[in-house]
């Protein structure tokens, strides 16, 4: 009679196998290979390595010298990351944190362990903030992790004002830094912040970075900077005064500031802000569009250009009656408080105020 484990028995069978293999490793039984990283040795089993890693499977089955070598030296991989990955293989537990996630991801990438790499990538996506997004972005670019690269770049550019205050951005290379400050897409409201960042980046390692100062200064839109701020920057940073090219660039900026501009200045993303007057319909039945919906119930007006744009109405616009008050947050989230519509009030025992929160996107311009 043939017995085949199913359900809980099958799970227990797999668990027993894992526990026995783990015990064999702990007792150094049947060890047939030793991994070496940063001089630290990790005794383990070829079968386990090959089962989890296509890289090791190819190494141990290729018929070359590595098949018979007892010791395998892993270059450019940290001992901690090897320990974390072996712990995952033998214990089904992946212990990652902010300090080791990039080195573990790199080791998993090297060993072609997609499951671990995916977990590390998700961890980094979930923990992106102003203090680490720069490192995550360039790490993701280096290994070709497109989703992680796109998300970290978006965060970096959108929160650049805060990112620029952290130490991490001062550690990147000259070319990376140059390409970053050239971008029009940085969400920054004042060009003074870019100049200050350039000076901080150079001062972080002045001996090696002073040679890049002129090239970096050319990427700063000095015409957008307050003249008094420029003068203070000159006084506080002798490296600017000691370089004739830097002085020429700044003097030309002073002339440009005094001279009426023949063309509009090239602003960055965060500088292109417009004050708009929001007009939200407060009719209990709403303002129906030609499509018989509430998509055109509200609009906004730009006093500077004298243009009017449609905006999307609150999701529950039909239920919103009289608008009592509204505010707009820094990230353009519109919050509106109002009484329920007449039809809703008729179904309710008590009169109440409802609050709606939504993010709007401009629609078609009104002719």
For residue 287, what pLDDT band results from cuts at 50, 70 and 90? very low
Residue 284 has pLDDT above 70, yes or no: no
The mean-pLDDT minimum among 41-50, 81-90, 118-127, 291-300 falls in: 291-300
Region(s) of the chain under CATH 3.30.710.10: 15-127
Residue 99 has pLDDT above 70, yes or no: yes
Determine whether domain 15-127 maps to CATH 3.30.710.10: yes
Minimal CA–CA distance to 172: which of 193, 150, 195, 141? 141
Distance CA(20)–CA(196), nearest Å, equals 60
pLDDT of residue 78: 96
Residue 255 has pLDDT above 80, yes or no: yes
Q: Where are the beta strands (DSSP E) in 224-352?
A: 277-280, 298-302, 307-311, 320-328, 333-340
Q: Once rounded to an integer, what is the mean pLDDT over residues 228-238?
A: 91
Q: Give how far Cα 23 sits from Cα of 30, 91, 200, 309, Å.
A: 11, 10, 53, 69
Residue 169 has pLDDT above 50, yes or no: yes
Residue 196 has pLDDT above 50, yes or no: yes
Q: Which residue has the tokens 């420029």?
A: 230
């Amino acid at each position: 009679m043939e017995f085949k484990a199913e359900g809980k028995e099958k799970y227990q069978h797999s668990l027993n196998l894992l526990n026995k293999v783990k015990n064999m490793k702990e007792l150094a039984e049947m060890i047939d290979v030793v991994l070496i990283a940063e001089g630290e040795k990790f005794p383990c089993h070829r079968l386990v390595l090959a089962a989890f890693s296509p890289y090791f499977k190819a190494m141990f089955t290729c018929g070359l010298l590595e098949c018979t070598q007892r010791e395998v030296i892993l270059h450019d991989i940290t001992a901690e990351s090897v320990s974390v990955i072996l712990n995952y293989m033998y214990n089904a537990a992946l212990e990652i944190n902010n300090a080791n996630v990039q080195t573990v991801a790199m080791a998993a990438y090297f060993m072609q362990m997609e499951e671990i790499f995916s977990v590390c990538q998700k961890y980094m996506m979930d923990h992106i903030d102003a203090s680490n997004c720069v490192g995550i972005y360039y790490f993701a670019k280096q290994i070709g992790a497109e989703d992680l690269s796109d998300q970290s770049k978006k965060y970096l550019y959108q929160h650049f004002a805060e990112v620029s205050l952290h130490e991490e951005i001062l550690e990147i290379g000259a070319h990376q830094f140059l390409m970053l400050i050239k971008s029009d897409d940085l969400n920054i409201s004042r060009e003074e912040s870019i100049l200050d960042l350039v000076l901080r980046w150079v001062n972080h390692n002045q001996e090696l970075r002073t040679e890049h100062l002129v090239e970096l200064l050319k990427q700063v839109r000095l015409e957008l900077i307050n003249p008094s701020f420029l003068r203070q920057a000159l006084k506080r940073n002798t490296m600017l005064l000691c370089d004739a090219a830097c002085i020429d660039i700044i003097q030309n900026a002073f002339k440009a500031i005094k001279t009426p501009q023949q063309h509009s200045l090239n602003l960055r993303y965060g500088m292109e802000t417009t004050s708009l007057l929001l007009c939200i319909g407060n009719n209990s039945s709403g303002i129906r569009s030609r499509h018989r919906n509430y998509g055109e119930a509200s609009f906004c007006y730009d006093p500077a250009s004298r243009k009017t744009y449609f905006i999307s109405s609150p999701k529950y616009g039909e239920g919103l009656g009289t608008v009592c008050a509204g505010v707009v947050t820094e990230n353009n989230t519109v919050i509106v408080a109002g009484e329920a519509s007449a039809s809703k009030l008729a179904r309710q025992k008590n009169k109440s105020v409802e609050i709606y929160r939504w993010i709007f996107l401009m629609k078609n311009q009104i002719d």
